[in-house]
Structure 1
Amino acid sequence: MQLTQEDVVVIAVPSYGGRVPSVAVRRLKALNGQGARAVLACVYGNRAYEDTLVELEDAARETGFRVIAAMAAVAEHSIARQFASGRPDEQDAQQIAAFAEQIRGKLSTNDLSEPKLPGNRPYKKAGGASIVPKATKDCNRCGVCAANCPVEAIHKDDPTKVDEKACISCMRCVAVCPQGARKVSPLLLSAASLMLKKVCSERKECELFL
């Protein structure tokens, strides 16, 4: 893909633990922005996105993009799905559509000013205990989960085998399994839900930075 300074690129990532997933940073750094204008977007599960946008901004700049806008949006929490359930909803859609018009307006005036983004440098420490979905007895080894895993953590020939170090706990495999045969440990899920209850219960709104 050959980019130019006239191009506008949307770079979107999920926020996991307030950071950009390391695999997304690696993939972004394999590109050459060539001075193209970039709109950054992070999606988080109604807890907090913390240093996600500044980390994404740094990676985009290092790769040669010019950051002109950024957005943080809320979606259903990938693990504890009772938090932000049903989001993005109609209110979110209206907000994001309004953001898009504001970004369009900035682009139309060739305003290349950089937004001031919330977050810290150095970034918060990444990591923490990961929650790895496992195959249940209902797994028929169809391979849908392996084909859809963004980090190829699931063995293609035997989906019951998972590289736990590679897994980023995105829960994509759980969402796409046609048999409903991938599950998270109920004990771990209960502990995560209890931990998140206080910080995730109040509705958070999408944010735009121009």
Structure 2
Amino acid sequence: MTAVTNKPAKIYTAYFSPTGGTKKVALALTSALADTDRFTEIDLSLPVLAQYTFAADDIIVIAVPVFGGRVPAFALQQLTTLHGQNTSAIAIAAYGNRAYEDALLELSDSLTSQSFHVIAAAAILSEHSMLRSVAAGRPDADDLAQLTDFAKKISAKPLTDAPALTNIPGNRPYKDWQPMPVVPKVSDSCIRCGLCSATCPTQAIPSGQPHTTDPQKCILCLRCTVVCPKNARSLPQQAQAMICQKLESIKDIYKNNEFFY
């Protein structure tokens, strides 16, 4: 494990990870940065969040998934609960083999606007949330080793007075993107246990009616499909077929992670 040589006061990691892949990336990097496993986790997918303020000598890893080349709007909203004081931050965009486009730049811009100092950034491969056979098993052992090496490079940087990153790819204005106008369907296997409702980031699943979904609130993050003990929730068949067709050409491509520091 690599210790941060600049001795930050505290190390944090914050992640929006509805299906778990982004969390895996965030924890791997944060564990490599810390000299112990004692760092603070902030789960940005919780429906209700406290406000956090970080000191100038803290360091935080902030990881989000990529939705259509952008940071999910709801994740950006959740990020407003984090307040820096020229706090060193590492921006991570986790994506499922297609492209991260403007997401990493958008995340960095958002953090900068909230008084974080982005000293490093990375685009890391993770299983695609809508089609798990795409980038299956990512991040894998090689990815985790690369994150450890990335931590070593970050550890050699000053936590204060480091130059601002100018090499993060992306465009301003960011690309226009809208999610598919569908919500997960519910099969007869649903036992109405309420787990999907309790863990839905946007509270799109009513607590008294867990077999329904509010299309005005659902962001298609698919957390409900991975937490359901009966696998009763899934994308509609037509939407699944469209995604399969769209991603077929990149299914077996092994893309490389990208690091900026």
What TM-score does the superposition give when structure 2 sets the normalisation length?
A: 0.76
Preserved CA contact (<8 Å) 2:179 2:220: no
Say yes or no: does 1:60 pair with 2:111.
yes
Partners of 2:199 and 2:81 in 1: CA distance: 21
Partners of 1:31 and 1:180 in 2: CA distance: 34
Preserved CA contact (<8 Å) 1:37 1:68: yes
Say yes or no: does 1:146 pair with 2:223.
no
Preserved CA contact (<8 Å) 1:130 1:168: no
What TM-score does the superposition give when structure 1 sets the normalisation length?
A: 0.94
Equivalent position to 1:45, from 77, 96, 100? 96
Preserved CA contact (<8 Å) 2:65 2:94: yes
Alignment of 1:166-181 (within 5 A): 166-181=217-232
Say yes or no: does 1:206 pair with 2:257.
yes
Equivalent position to 1:114, from 137, 159, 164? 164
Deviation at 1:165, TM superposition (A): 2.5
Partners of 1:165 and 1:103 in 2: CA distance: 41
Residue matched to 2:120 = 69
- Give the secondary structure class of the aligned counterpart of 1:37: strand
Deviation at 1:160, TM superposition (A): 1.3
Alignment of 1:182-193 (within 5 A): 182-193=233-244
Q: Deviations over 1:18-59 (max 9, x none)?
A: 000111111212332111111101111111110001111111
Preserved CA contact (<8 Å) 2:53 2:82: no
- Give the secondary structure class of the aligned counterpart of 2:94: strand
* Over 4 Å off, 4+ runs: none
How many residue pairs get aligned? The number is: 209
Equivalent position to 2:176, from 109, 122, 125? 125
Deviation at 1:200, TM superposition (A): 4.2
Partners of 2:181 and 2:139 in 1: CA distance: 25
Residue matched to 2:29 = none
Gaps of 5+ in 2: 1-51
Residue matched to 2:40 = none
Partners of 2:255 and 2:181 in 1: CA distance: 24
Preserved CA contact (<8 Å) 1:135 1:159: no
Gaps of 5+ in 1: none
Residue matched to 2:132 = 81
Equivalent position to 1:95, from 146, 156, 179? 146
- Give the secondary structure class of the aligned counterpart of 2:224: helix
Moved more, 74-83 or 162-171: 162-171
Matched residue type, 1:114: A
